Amino acid sequence: MKRGLACLPSAPMYERSYMHKDAVSHVSVSHRFEFIFTASTDGFLKFWKKAAVGIEFVKTFRAHLTKISGVALSKNEQRLATVCPMEQTMKLFDVSNFDVIHIIKLDFTPSVCEFINKTTSLSPLLAIADAALPKIWIVNSEQSQNEKKSVVVSEMTYHETPVRLIRFNQVYNLVVSTDQSGVIEVWDPDTLELPDDGRLAFEVLSDTDYC
């Protein structure tokens, strides 16, 4: 191990390690709170704090019993969401207090996810792709504690194959999603349609190479 990461195990032999026991599948960073989040294929989620030199371990969660397929950080960096296809669950974490605040059962098999709200939004919505169908479900991530199943706000159905990636651009308030066949869709998170208000340099996708 390289020098400079003194807070991590660096000796040839050591008795305790904070490292993941399986392959790391996701990495996300909160610049606001200076946290690094890592998820591994065995369902563990770890919080790390950026230090003056290297990183320091903060907390570990057995977020899910099997592989995590999606990890998303809200734009205000206060919430972190994870989804698991085998369990069909979504978990929501409070970043600043590094604790679990919601465990929600989904009515579909999730794959990837992304928060699609601006930083100032008071109602964080999570876009979750369906692993089996060409749909993206828009879910209320901070629903009532009494509700054990997901509250689906709306669904996006323009793709013809299951979605593999979702990204939100809060500057233009647009979502970009791509599916297994390579088709890219650009849509407004409020209307779920291609905007025609000048935010884009084209009016229809046929004017581009996206489809």
Tell me: pLDDT of 9 over 80: no
Backbone angles phi, psi at 73, to 5 degrees: -110, 130
Residue 75 is predicted with a pLDDT of: 92
Backbone angles phi, psi at 137, to 5 degrees: -95, 130
Residue 10 is predicted with a pLDDT of: 62
Report d(CA 151, CA 149) in Å as an integer: 7
Tell me: pLDDT of 31 over 60: yes
* Complete edge-to-edge strand list for the sheet that includes strand 110-115: 110-115, 125-130, 136-140, 152-156
Residue 25 is predicted with a pLDDT of: 95
pLDDT in tens, 95-124: 999 899 999 999 999 999 999 987 776 668
Architecture of domain 70-207: 7 Propeller (2.130)
Averaged pLDDT, 152-162? 90
Q: Where are the domains of the chain?
A: 70-207
Exposure string over 41-69, b if 16+ CB within 10 A, otherwise e: bbbbbbbbeeeeeebeeeeebebbeebbb
